[in-house]
Structure 1
Amino acid sequence: AAGRPVLRQMFIESQRRFNTDLYMYSNGDILFHIKKLITSLKEIKRFTKAHNIRRFIVFGGRREAKFYSTSGDTIEIISGLDEEITRRGQGTKLGLSNAQDYFITSKTSFPWDAMPDFVVSVPAFDNWLLMFSNKADIATFDITATNLAVHQAGAPKFIDNDYNKSASNNMELYNESIISYGGTSIYCCKWKTMYDGGGKVIIVKNPTFKNECIGKLKIPVENLLDENIFQG
């Protein structure tokens, strides 16, 4: 993988080493409002248990905050506490809807063994996850509306030969799996979190989820949904 971690192996190894309710991947340049994140995930846990949803994966969008510019102006994080993250997120806009920079599953809610050897921090692996999950009838949740994830934007991407090899590897795997390329947007999650009138996090059906969100895949998804995969 040209020196970059393979996402599938990261989750499998983390789940082997640690026993916890949820496991999360995030790009290293994302700052989270921890209280909002935990509150959103608690509602996901409650909802999936109440509705007997055993197969699920959680996604979310990011807000773009300029931390670096070529003129030398940079912003440094002082405390990293929720209050500071709130300030950094004020006045920012949502990033690209097809950039899923973080996602969360439980130990048994997603079949990581079935995922190709995508590497992290280059394109395609996140889009594949969303498309595969919707095709495989794994419940997809979008927590953008109740979670604050701030992207430390502005720093130029370091692209070398290893980066290009990794990106080429991911695109090859992606093209081997995908027939139609719809359904890569965060708006294609089946469920979403929101606040009710009293400020409580709730989960509702996502009105932007359409039939077009179910992509066509070359891989035999039905063979990957054997019940044994999901036994914890």
Structure 2
Amino acid sequence: MTSYKITFKCYLVIVTVVAFSFYCGFILSKDNRFQIAKYLPKFTQIRGILQKLDSLENYIKKQRFQVSGQFKDFSAKLSQFVLDRNTKPKEPMKTQEEPWRKSNKTGMILFTTWIDVAEKDIVHRNVFRTWRKWLPLIKPLFFYINASTGNRLKKEGWLVRPVPKTGCGDSNMPIMRDMFLDAVTNYKSVLYGYANGDITFDNGIQKAIDHLVESTVVQEKPVLILVRRTNVDFSNSPELDENSNITEMYNKGKAVMDGSSDGFFTNKLFPWEYVPNAVVGRIGIGMWLVSYARAMNVTVIDITKTVRAIHMTTKSGNLESNFKKNVRCNHVIYGQLNIVPSSWGCGHILCAVMEVIVDEHGKTVMIRKSPKNMEKKCSNCYMDLKKILP
């Protein structure tokens, strides 16, 4: 198409020069009728050339429109091909003769961390009582800063490890990347997940993980699995145990609708090694992580429709992270490395390309979202990763 434009411009320049030359000749000899008669045929020839150039220009425009349409169709087909390749299993989902939750296999190492605070004491006890009820499919792991807290949870049947690395200045908050890498190194599992120390789940998490660990997508591709919380008032400090009805509490709570995620589960293929020193317990990690995953061609899966996650809200409220020391330390890191996503909307949980649902037969299944149902904020996303990739 570029060669057409160059050729057309060359013709136009030549014709303009010739026409101008003839015109100048005509002016210089305007008193000479014989000269006028001599140049008239040349003007006729120029007119014919210009008509041909007009026809050529129209032809080029028509061809350009056709080629543009072909490229548009090709682009759409290429996008669909990439989406299929990264989300569609290569073979039908395997039928399980024996669910993982009825075996001794570990499907996920689910870990958390916290600093002991009197206000959160009941909430933390609720977490270490409820998380262990999904053993052995889901094994709870605690990364401790204080060894006495680690010893207490170890007696409760949890796995425990020291926090491998901290960041965010003198706040000394655990770095998410290093906790994931430490868990992968020290424990054999299909999935590894993090949730805050004031969040627990209903038994839907068992069914979702039981299904996911057998899926071809999880076994063969890097994945990021997300869940969104519902805020439930725990200011009166109700105690939970393995028989507590989480679903009932969930139904009385208030769902978070800002697009953020509150559980992050990945497999060993997830590119954690390139994630910067972002810490848990400070704002800005969730949506950045989802944006990063999408930029790295990771399959993002939403399990919110099958897993009820409740955030046990204490008197500090639902936005307590906004009032912590060095509250924006994660954002400072993103700015220094120039890895801020083109839009924070690109990190919304609604941008997940797949979701786990319960179908009309009551079976837990994973489906691929239709691109038509994706929000506009999920498109045209970009993140410059040159400074963190090798």
After TM superposition, the score normalised by the length of structure 1 is 0.82
2:385 pairs, out of 215, 219, 222, with 219
Distance 1:193 1:220, change over 3 A: same
In structure 2, what is the Cα distance between the partners aligned to 1:119 and 1:20? 23
- Kindly indicate whether residue 223 of structure 2 is the aligned counterpart of residue 60 of structure 1: no
In structure 2, what is the Cα distance between the partners aligned to 1:128 and 1:115? 10
In structure 1, what is the Cα distance between the partners aligned to 2:285 and 2:240? 32
In structure 2, what is the Cα distance between the partners aligned to 1:53 and 1:221? 27
- Kindly indicate whether residue 206 of structure 2 is the aligned counterpart of residue 46 of structure 1: no
Q: Is the 8 A contact 2:175 2:280 kept in 1?
A: yes
Corresponding position of 1:130: 290
SS in 1 for 2:328: helix
In structure 2, what is the Cα distance between the partners aligned to 1:89 and 1:159? 24
Alpha-carbon offset, residue 42 of structure 1: 2.2
Corresponding position of 2:191: 22
In structure 2, what is the Cα distance between the partners aligned to 1:38 and 1:104? 13
SS in 2 for 1:79: coil
In structure 1, what is the Cα distance between the partners aligned to 2:186 and 2:218? 29
Output the amino acid matched with 1:90.
N
Distance 1:43 1:211, change over 3 A: farther
SS in 2 for 1:20: coil
Output the amino acid matched with 1:112.
W
Number of matched pairs: 212
Give me the identity figure in percent: 21
Q: Is the 8 A contact 2:283 2:322 kept in 1?
A: no
Bigger proportion of residues as helix: 2
In structure 2, what is the Cα distance between the partners aligned to 1:189 and 1:158? 25
In structure 2, what is the Cα distance between the partners aligned to 1:192 and 1:50? 12
Alpha-carbon offset, residue 51 of structure 1: 8.2
> Structure 1: which 5+ runs fail to align?
69-73, 225-232
Q: Is the 8 A contact 1:136 1:221 kept in 2?
A: no
Q: Is the 8 A contact 1:135 1:221 kept in 2?
A: no
Alpha-carbon offset, residue 222 of structure 1: 10
Distance 1:22 1:158, change over 3 A: closer
- Kindly indicate whether residue 319 of structure 2 is the aligned counterpart of residue 143 of structure 1: no
Corresponding position of 1:89: 250
Output the amino acid matched with 1:209.
M
- Kindly indicate whether residue 169 of structure 2 is the aligned counterpart of residue 8 of structure 1: no
SS in 1 for 2:305: helix
Output the amino acid matched with 1:104.
F
In structure 1, what is the Cα distance between the partners aligned to 2:388 and 2:210? 30
Q: Is the 8 A contact 1:192 1:204 kept in 2?
A: yes
- Kindly indicate whether residue 350 of structure 2 is the aligned counterpart of residue 187 of structure 1: yes
Structure scoring higher RCO (CA < 8 A, sep ≥ 6) equals 1
Runs of 4+ with >6 A deviation: none
Q: Select between 59-68 and 200-209 the one with higher mean Cα deviation.
A: 200-209
Distance 1:80 1:199, change over 3 A: same
Alpha-carbon offset, residue 191 of structure 1: 0.5
Alpha-carbon offset, residue 206 of structure 1: 2.5
Alpha-carbon offset, residue 168 of structure 1: 2.5
Q: Deviations over 1:103-157 (max 9, x none)?
A: 11122x2111110100001111111110011121100000000001011124312
> Structure 2: which 5+ runs fail to align?
1-166
Corresponding position of 1:227: none
Corresponding position of 1:177: 339
In structure 1, what is the Cα distance between the partners aligned to 2:282 and 2:375? 27
Q: Select between 136-145 and 96-105 the one with higher mean Cα deviation.
A: 96-105
Distance 1:16 1:179, change over 3 A: closer
- Kindly indicate whether residue 365 of structure 2 is the aligned counterpart of residue 196 of structure 1: no
Distance 1:98 1:15, change over 3 A: same
Corresponding position of 2:240: 78
Corresponding position of 1:117: 277
- Kindly indicate whether residue 225 of structure 2 is the aligned counterpart of residue 37 of structure 1: no
Alpha-carbon offset, residue 179 of structure 1: 4.3
After TM superposition, the score normalised by the length of structure 2 is 0.50
1:102 pairs, out of 252, 257, 263, with 263
SS in 2 for 1:145: coil
